[in-house]
Copies of this chain bind each other. A is one copy, B any other.
Amino acid sequence: MTRQIAELRERLAELDDLRLTAGLLNWDQQTMMPTRGGPRRADTLATLERISHARFVSAETGRLLAAADAELGGEDPDSDDVRLVALVQRRWDKARRVPTELAAELAKAASVGQEAWIAARRDQDFDAFAPYLETNVELARRYAECFEDFDCAYDALLDDYEPQMSSARVARLFDELKRALVPLIAQLAQRDLDSSVLHGNFPVQTQRQLVSEVLKMMGFDAAAWRLDDAVHPFASSFGATDVRITTRWDESYLSVGLFGAMHECGHGLYEAGIPPALQRLPLGHGESLGMHESQSRLWENMVGRGRSFSGVLAPRIAALFDGALDADTLFRAVNRVSPSFIRVEADEATYGLHIILRFELEQELIAGTLAVRDVPEAWNSRVRDYLGLEVANPADGALQDVHWSAGLIGYFPTYALGNMIAGQLWQQVHLDLPDIEQQIAAGDLSGLRGWLLENVHRHGSKFRTDELLERVIGGSIEVGPFVSYLQQKLSDVYGVALA
């Protein structure tokens, strides 16, 4: 390694330490921190961001980048160092347009907002949350104004979660998705399906046992992972050997804890699978959230709600909760299509509509065509249009998600992009591993994990989503494979032909 690259890497390693530290403070805030710790935590997160941002955008980082770039002239364009310099250069160009004080304000408002959201959600009081959301929208707009080279303000935000994605492209993909989903949902709305096995009395202690068995099959290793409770499930990691996932529990509905945990474990496997050579560097994290969500959604839905794994789950559920349960009954129950209020608990067909709704609303918030005080009405009206439901209280509506409270505006589209990518990967893994369903049916998830490790995780953030997809499946993001997967599955579930 040359001297300039080594120096750049050392500087980036320290910045990565600061990034993980802020991540741990955030994890702690959501899982461990006593309520009254909130204000000091927000100040501290602002300080970390102020220090970290100022160090990153400094002229010295720019100098090291230029020197490293010059040194790497003849190197393999796919080598770690070339990719590192390209990634960091792009981020540096973007970050240095943002004043350090604004970066610190964003960090502080995200921390303050989350505490306000928890209280407002508990009290069913959107008005109490509105001033915090106003702050976050205002800060997001100020952040977007720092840039000139995006088509619109929203694109500057989206780019932080899905690099080099545009809202125009997302809108085209979402239109195609909607055209496929709406008739599918309508066709199934006429047919009822029994999902009563998921509802009843499921003591949390026993659910923990079930989840612990499932996570272990997926690759959760107690020496390097934690599972905790959180108001809104999320995954966090302090490097590949300290992965922290969370879930929440509903004693009357089995899906919440189980599939929430599988979803977050999918995220965790991505971080746990990043090789040592990329650790403690910006390359050592899943960069595209669309790609990240493809992992969580694949494990949650394609594995967790798949027919093969239903055969693994059903006997364990029956044994743990003292009931009879066969695989087909479980398979049908976990795939019942039925419009519902809560995104994270939605079935795979209606899920996309939840995302489209949020994508539309947050674009309007950023464009200034929707005021924060009008969010509940706009939300409820769109839930009526898309899902045919009447929102009765804000915890089932505009207060259900943590994202906006934490300043994560522009994040939501990545969930639906994740479904699409998951559909593409799922198709490919069946080509590459013809006996994958038999493996899963036998409770052996190592083949799938190995395939994802080899094709996705081990690259960290070396490649953009489109580049990585080109390597793995020979194409870019498409709606088709996800829709085909869903039609096929729901045909099996409902015993009807769907197209």
Contacts and interface: CB of A to CB of B under 8 A. Distances in A.
Given A223-B34, A224-B34, A241 B40 contact: yes
A21 interface: yes
Contacts of A24: 24-25, 28
Contact of A17 (B20, B48, B226): B48
A393 interface: no
A47 interface: yes
Contact of A40 (B37, B39, B242): B242
B25 A43 contact: no
A17 B43 CA distance: 8
Given A14-B50, A21-B48, A226 B32 contact: yes
Contact of A242 (B21, B37, B50, B241): B37
Contacts of A222: 34
Contacts of A367: none
A33 interface: yes
A447 to B, nearest CB: 24
A41 B280 CA distance: 11
Interface string A234-249: 0000110111000000
Contacts of A20: 40, 44
Contacts of A33: 238, 242
Contacts of A243: 34
A35 interface: yes
A225 interface: yes
A51 interface: yes
A429 interface: no
Interface in A393-411: none
Contacts of A225: 34
Interface string A260-303: 00000000000000000001100000000000000000000000
A18 interface: yes
Contacts of A191: none
Given A24-B28, A51-B51, A280-B43, A242 B14 contact: no
A179 interface: no
Contact of A239 (B40, B241, B280): B40
A315 B25 CA distance: 41
Copies of the polypeptide in the assembly: 2
A14 B224 contact: no
A36 interface: yes
A473 to B, nearest CB: 33
B21 A280 contact: no
Given A17-B44, A21-B48, A44-B17, A37 B238 contact: yes
A40 B223 contact: no
A239 to B, nearest CB: 4
A62 B20 CA distance: 31
Given A25-B21, A28-B28, A242 B36 contact: yes
Contact of A34 (B18, B39, B226): B226
A14 B222 CA distance: 35
A238 B24 CA distance: 14
Interface centre among A21, A51, A243 (most CB of B within 10 A): A21
A132 B25 CA distance: 28
Contacts of A279: 40
A47 B14 contact: yes
Contacts of A14: 47, 50-51
A284 B14 CA distance: 28
A223 B36 contact: yes
Contacts of A25: 21, 24
A306 B239 CA distance: 48
A60 to B, nearest CB: 14
Contacts of A50: 14
A41 B24 CA distance: 11
A35 B223 contact: yes
Contacts of A47: 13-14, 17-18
Contacts of A35: 223-224
A277 to B, nearest CB: 15
A41 B238 CA distance: 8
A418 to B, nearest CB: 26
5 contacts: A33-B238, A36-B224, A36-B241, A36-B242, A40-B239
In the complex, the 8 A-B pairs of residues with the closest C-beta atoms, listed nearest first = A37-B242, A36-B241, A17-B47, A40-B239, A36-B224, A17-B44, A14-B47, A35-B223
Given A17-B44, A33-B238, A40-B239, 18 more contacts: A14-B47, A18-B47, A18-B51, A21-B44, A24-B25, A24-B28, A28-B28, A34-B242, A34-B243, A36-B223, A37-B224, A37-B239, A37-B241, A40-B242, A40-B280, A41-B242, A44-B238, A51-B51
